[in-house]
Chain A
Amino acid sequence: EPEVTQTPSHQVTQMGQEVILRCVPISNHLYFYWYRQILGQKVEFLVSFYNNEISEKSEIFDDQFSVERPDGSNFTLKIRSTKLEDSAMYFCASSEDAGSNTGELFFGEGSRLTVL
């Protein structure tokens, strides 16, 4: 069964360092997403991406965050200068459809980011 894969599964970094989280969405999917979940809290939308550009982003997704699809298969989330409050599980997701035709979001297993 096709799946979304994420690397690394866990990354520990020092405050102020740059982090790149990587995702390989399901190959025929066209819409890509990043979510985060702080421990014990809800899943929060960060950004959606379609046709090589951001479709929508939340207020959490400030100038410290960026996304890229560098090579047609990987979808990356970059955090330029990590803060303690960036510590969370980051989930990548992909879907075949979006908008009014939105179907299932397929999630990766997540990348746990710990900022010290």
Chain B
Amino acid sequence: RKEVEQDPGPFNVPEGATVAFNCTYSNSASQSFFWYRQDCRKEPKLLMSVYSSGNEDGRFTAQLNRASQYISLLIRDSKLSDSATYLCVVNRGFKTIFGAGTRLFVKA
């Protein structure tokens, strides 16, 4: 079983749509959780950290359920510039594990 699993997509949505991504992790010792964004052939960049209480940053909302070992990302009012691969990332000590990513295409 992969340590971090994501639906690979792609998700094709129109501008203005709301889209949700899910992620599960297998190691209960995982300590911290993140969503990164990766544009084609570029380096990953932090989108947001994920907390059990849930957190929001503008149009983006992230949620963590430790009991279910489940992480989510909600994007509201999608923009063309949101088109990218979204990486679910889990940290355990000195090791940070990336999911394979979910590809999002936002169309005009």
Contacts and interface: CB of A to CB of B under 8 A. Distances in A.
Given A98-B93, A100-B32, A44 B98 contact: yes
B97 interface: yes
Given A41-B100, A42-B99, A42-B101, A99 B94 contact: yes
Interface residues of B, number: 22
A50 B34 CA distance: 21
Nearest to B87: A43
Interface stretch (A11-19, A65-73, A78-86, A106-114): A106-114
Contacts of B43: 91, 107-110
Interface in A74-104: 89, 91, 98-100, 102-104
Interface in A16-41: 31, 33, 35, 41
Interface of A: 31, 33, 35, 41-45, 48, 50, 55-56, 58, 89, 91, 98-100, 102-105, 107-110
